[in-house]
Copies of this chain bind each other. A is one copy, B any other.
């Protein structure tokens, strides 16, 4: 056997694994310490009662001959795809359900989608970025160009016309920076993709953090942009929207207008899915369907607003302490400049060892993340308040000036 040696090019450890190891070590050495985890982007609120009800019903169906569900459609059940197409309609986007594919979370499809593309593609990825985008392309051996996302462009980079990419990764609201592109900026990206015959792989995992009636003209879907159906694939998930990180369900939308030469990408993907997938758990899909009911929508929004309020408290605290930051308004992520120009890991160790506060070192997201740091608004309010207290009392007296 011959190994895929591209694995050697990966960083030794995934940043989240490394953070988790350090926290565990700290807890072992400080058994009485209460760590405030403002790090990993993971929900903390239990599932809403509508989802619980729907999943109990689905489990019951699984136990009776008349209602038992064996292999489901590889592309997902129609009942869920219909709800998603109706959701798109709220933003005046029309999709046939054949353009919507259920996935078991964005992560899987973010790399599976690369099956559609040869190795001879140049991939454009912003830096800093969610590490999966680059890692999966490193494993595959594609050429990657990183686009500088930094304080100068407010962590919302626009295309560099000198670069001619074939595949473009975008994430808005962004992970890790929490910044969000407005309609005008997204239009610039779509035009750029079309000029270069490139495809945009658009990660909208955090769209639920954008208020329906926002005053900043921030689209929730890339497909709100003119001509985007010719050059975009969108990946969305119920992980953050409905707390489904442990349930595993999301969707991938490939418009029928997306073509290259004589090939329709939606059709190739459909063929691929029929070979490579046996679909997503029926119970998970019924759970996901429930959040589109009026009650489900209201319950999930309640949780999102709770996280958003957390983010606001963190941002207000940073503002008070005069720490430069972005994000946190339409996103659970707050991206800050480490005080006193500390390195990211230096700040991580400092925060953890002195104050029992854990965030994510920005450098784990790319070279432009060095000297930056990510907090998240997930978690319980009392912890967020404690975070503010701890930082106000001691930490920033020394560091924020």
- Residue of B whose beta carbon sits closest to that of A140: B115
Can you give 30 contacting A-B residue pairs, CB < 8 Å? A1-B197, A1-B198, A2-B118, A3-B261, A3-B265, A3-B268, A4-B117, A4-B118, A7-B116, A10-B275, A17-B274, A46-B62, A46-B65, A46-B67, A47-B68, A51-B62, A55-B283, A59-B283, A62-B246, A69-B246, A104-B104, A107-B276, A107-B278, A115-B139, A131-B275, A135-B275, A245-B278, A247-B282, A247-B283, A281-B284
Query: Which one, A37-45, A173-181, A212-220, A327-335, is touching chain B?
Result: A37-45
- Residue of B whose beta carbon sits closest to that of A40: B71
Contact of A117 with B280 in the complex, beta carbons under 8 Å? no
Q: Does A121 contact B (CB under 8 A)?
A: yes
Q: Mark A276-316, 1 if CB is under 8 A from B, else 0.
A: 11111111100000000000000000000000000000000
Contact of A59 with B52 in the complex, beta carbons under 8 Å? yes
Give the copy number. 2
Contact of A63 with B42 in the complex, beta carbons under 8 Å? no
Tell me which residues across on chain B come within 8 A of A117, comparing CB atoms. 1-4
Contact of A46 among B64, B197, B198 (CB under 8 A): B64
- Residue of B whose beta carbon sits closest to that of A106: B278
Q: Which residues 56-104 in A have Cβ within 8 Å of B in the complex?
A: 56, 59-60, 62-65, 67-72, 104
Whole-angstrom distance between the Cβ of A323 and the nearest chain B Cβ: 28
Tell me which residues across on chain B come within 8 A of A3, comparing CB atoms. 116-118, 260-261, 263, 265, 268
Q: Does A136 contact B (CB under 8 A)?
A: yes
Contact of B281 with A248 in the complex, beta carbons under 8 Å? yes
Contact of B1 with A70 in the complex, beta carbons under 8 Å? no
Most buried by B among A3, A47, A263: A3
Tell me which residues across on chain B come within 8 A of A245, comparing CB atoms. 70-71, 278
Q: Please give 12 more A-B residue pairs, beta carbons under 8 A apart, in addition to A1-B260, A68-B243, A136-B276.
A: A3-B116, A40-B71, A42-B70, A52-B62, A55-B59, A56-B56, A59-B59, A62-B246, A115-B139, A132-B275, A132-B276, A139-B275
Q: Mark A120-145, 1 if CB is under 8 A from B, else 0.
A: 11000000000110011001000000
Contact of A1 among B111, B167, B247, B271 (CB under 8 A): B167
Contact of B281 with A246 in the complex, beta carbons under 8 Å? yes
Contact of B56 with A5 in the complex, beta carbons under 8 Å? no
- Residue of B whose beta carbon sits closest to that of A67: B46
Tell me which residues across on chain B come within 8 A of A280, comparing CB atoms. 104, 248
Contact of B44 with A68 in the complex, beta carbons under 8 Å? yes
- Residue of B whose beta carbon sits closest to that of A68: B46
Contact of A71 with B278 in the complex, beta carbons under 8 Å? no
- Residue of B whose beta carbon sits closest to that of A282: B246
Q: A70-B245, A246-B72 are in contact. Are A4 and B116 (CB under 8 A)?
A: yes
Q: A14-B274, A246-B71 are in contact. Are A1 and B121 (CB under 8 A)?
A: yes
Contact of A281 with B120 in the complex, beta carbons under 8 Å? no
Contact of B63 with A46 in the complex, beta carbons under 8 Å? yes
Tell me which residues across on chain B come within 8 A of A276, comparing CB atoms. 107-108, 111, 132, 135-136
Q: Does A183 contact B (CB under 8 A)?
A: no
Q: Closest 9 interchain pairs by CB?
A: A52-B63, A46-B68, A69-B246, A70-B245, A246-B282, A71-B245, A42-B70, A135-B275, A2-B118
Q: Does A105 contact B (CB under 8 A)?
A: yes
Q: A275-B10, A278-B105, A278-B248 are in contact. Are A62 and B72 (CB under 8 A)?
A: no
Contact of A43 among B10, B70, B277 (CB under 8 A): B70
Q: Does A381 contact B (CB under 8 A)?
A: no
- Residue of B whose beta carbon sits closest to that of A248: B281
Q: Does A166 contact B (CB under 8 A)?
A: yes
Tell me which residues across on chain B come within 8 A of A247, comparing CB atoms. 62, 281-283
Q: Does A199 contact B (CB under 8 A)?
A: yes
